[in-house]
């Protein structure tokens, strides 16, 4: 065997070993994450009965006051006869809605501060699983781009976990070659440290069919507060190399300014689309983010952008 062939074979074996190790590591972590997700989902589901709204269906939802200019045929005269106001009978919207959830599983998501028990990846997966459970309980269909087809199955969390544990594909920060169908909804959970041009391209791609969406930036506290001083070597986890700071504390102001600009650009893009943009730190409870997401998904498109959870 030629030397070049041996080198290629070694590289292939190393790649297979790395992929297998990553899959085993994820598989070993998933049971704990699923338990966390079920606990978080149960907290939110308690007292939350889906994303109820008016629309075509057979189930009565509520009466509302008649609005001037509406067809008189919409008036429920029996209910209106009880007092001096006119009322319209609304049915509950019953068509299953499709929501795509993308958790960033790239290498940068593995980072966590020494004093925190979970990484950004842990939080992204817990929220993805829990949100899927909440949405399915509310009658929606949930899928993962390129991995899980939309499903309203009650065991959606297990399907997602199994698919991720056995996924041989490269872990990318942002979904690629994915164009959701019109009227569906997209949730992207990522640290969003990708170049701004890639983030903008993603938003353009996902919104091209009129899809509504929610962008969640999951960050470790250290990525916001920059608690470093002295000589520090910073390593980019996705292959961009290393950089050494002689006095890291001198970088803090410039770092914070750059983070603010990056987020402002993302927020400007989501605002134009009517999408929500949520910033979540991993030292905050997962239930806060899940509640915020659930609220945004039932809110009008032009409100609530850019809030932290």
CATH number of the domain residue 44 falls in: 3.40.50
Q: Are residues 80 and 129 in the same domain?
A: no
Distance separating alpha carbons of residues 25 and 290, to the nearest angstrom: 25
Q: Is the pLDDT of residue 161 over 50?
A: yes
Residue 97 pLDDT = 82
Select the more confidently predicted residue: 274 or 306. Answer: 274
Q: Is the pLDDT of residue 211 over 70?
A: yes
Residue 103 pLDDT = 94
Report CA-CA distances (Å) from 251 to 110, 175, 218, 259.
Answer: 23, 32, 22, 12
The closest of 293, 55, 95, 37 to 186, measured between CA atoms, is: 293
Judge whether 171 lies within some domain: yes
Helix, strand, coil percent values for the chain (each to nearest 5): 45, 20, 35
Q: Contact, 123 vs 282, CB < 8 A?
A: yes
Number of Cβ within 10 Å of residue 269's Cβ equals 19
For the chain, the residue count is: 309
Q: For residue 70, what are the domain limits?
A: 60-91
What residue has token string 């997700």?
37
CB burial readout 153-162, b (16+ within 10 A) else e: eeebbebbbe
Model-level pTM greater than 0.95? Answer: no
How many domains does the chain divide into?
2
Q: Contact, 219 vs 282, CB < 8 A?
A: yes
The closest of 296, 298, 123, 149 to 221, measured between CA atoms, is: 123
Q: Are residues 113 and 201 in the same domain?
A: yes
Residue 259 pLDDT = 93
Select the more confidently predicted residue: 90 or 186. Answer: 186
Residue 275 pLDDT = 95
For the stretch 30-85, pLDDT in tens is 677 778 888 888 777 654 444 545 444 445 556 778 777 778 788 888 888 888 88
Residue 94 pLDDT = 43
Judge whether 132 lies within some domain: yes
Judge whether 290 lies within some domain: yes
Residue 74 pLDDT = 80
Q: Are residues 210 and 170 in the same domain?
A: yes
Q: What torsion, rounded to 10 degrees, do the Cα atoms 281, 287, 288, 291 define?
A: 130
Distance separating alpha carbons of residues 170 and 35, to the nearest angstrom: 26
Structure tokens given for 30: 């998933």
Q: Are residues 229 and 168 in the same domain?
A: yes
Q: What is the mean pLDDT of residues 15-27?
A: 52
Q: Are residues 64 and 175 in the same domain?
A: no
Judge whether 20 lies within some domain: no
Q: Is the pLDDT of residue 93 over 50?
A: no
Q: Is the pLDDT of residue 219 over 90?
A: yes
Residue 205 pLDDT = 92
Q: Are residues 145 and 181 in the same domain?
A: yes
Q: Are residues 215 and 243 in the same domain?
A: yes
pLDDT band at 158 (very low <50, low <70, confident <90, very high): confident
For the stretch 224-279, pLDDT in tens is 888 777 776 776 666 666 777 777 787 788 888 999 999 999 999 999 999 999 99
Judge whether 23 lies within some domain: no
Q: Are residues 79 and 212 in the same domain?
A: no
Residue 267 pLDDT = 97
Q: Are residues 80 and 148 in the same domain?
A: no
Residue 49 pLDDT = 45
Farthest-apart Cα atoms in the chain, separation: 93
Residue 6 pLDDT = 62
For the chain, what percent of residues have pLDDT higher than 90? 28
Judge whether 3 lies within some domain: no
Q: What is the mean pLDDT of residues 155-161?
A: 88
Q: Contact, 136 vs 178, CB < 8 A?
A: no
Judge whether 262 lies within some domain: yes
């Amino acid at each position: 065997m030629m030397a070049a062939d041996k080198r290629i074979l070694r590289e292939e074996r190393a790649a297979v070993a790395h992929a297998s190790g990553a899959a085993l590591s994820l598989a070993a972590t998933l049971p704990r994450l699923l338990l966390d997700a079920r606990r978080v989902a149960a907290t939110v589901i308690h007292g939350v009965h889906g994303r109820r709204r008016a629309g075509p269906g057979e189930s009565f939802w509520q009466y509302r006051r008649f609005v001037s200019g509406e067809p008189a045929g919409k008036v429920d005269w029996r209910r209106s006869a009880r007092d001096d106001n006119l009322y319209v009978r609304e049915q509950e919207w019953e068509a299953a809605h499709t929501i795509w959830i993308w958790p960033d599983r790239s290498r940068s998501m593995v980072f966590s501060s020494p004093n925190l028990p979970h990484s950004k990846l842990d939080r992204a997966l817990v929220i993805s699983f829990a949100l899927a459970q909440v949405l399915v309980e509310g009658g929606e269909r949930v899928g993962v781009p390129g991995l899980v087809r939309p499903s309203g199955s009650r065991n959606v969390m297990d399907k997602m976990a199994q698919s991720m544990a056995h996924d041989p594909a490269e872990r990318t920060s942002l979904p690629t070659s994915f164009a959701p169908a019109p009227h569906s909804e997209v949730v992207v959970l990522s640290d969003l440290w990708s170049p701004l041009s890639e983030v903008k391209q993603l938003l353009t791609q996902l919104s091209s069919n009129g899809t509504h969406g929610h962008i969640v930036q999951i960050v470790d506290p250290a990525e916001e507060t920059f608690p470093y001083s002295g000589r520090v070597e910073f390593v980019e986890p996705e292959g961009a190399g290393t950089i050494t700071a002689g006095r890291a504390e001198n970088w803090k102001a410039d770092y914070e300014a750059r983070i603010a600009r990056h987020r402002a650009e993302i927020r400007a893009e989501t605002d134009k689309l009517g999408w929500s943009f949520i910033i979540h730190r991993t030292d905050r409870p997962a239930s806060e983010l899940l509640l915020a997401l659930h609220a945004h998904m039932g809110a009008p498109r032009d409100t609530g952008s850019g809030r932290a959870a």
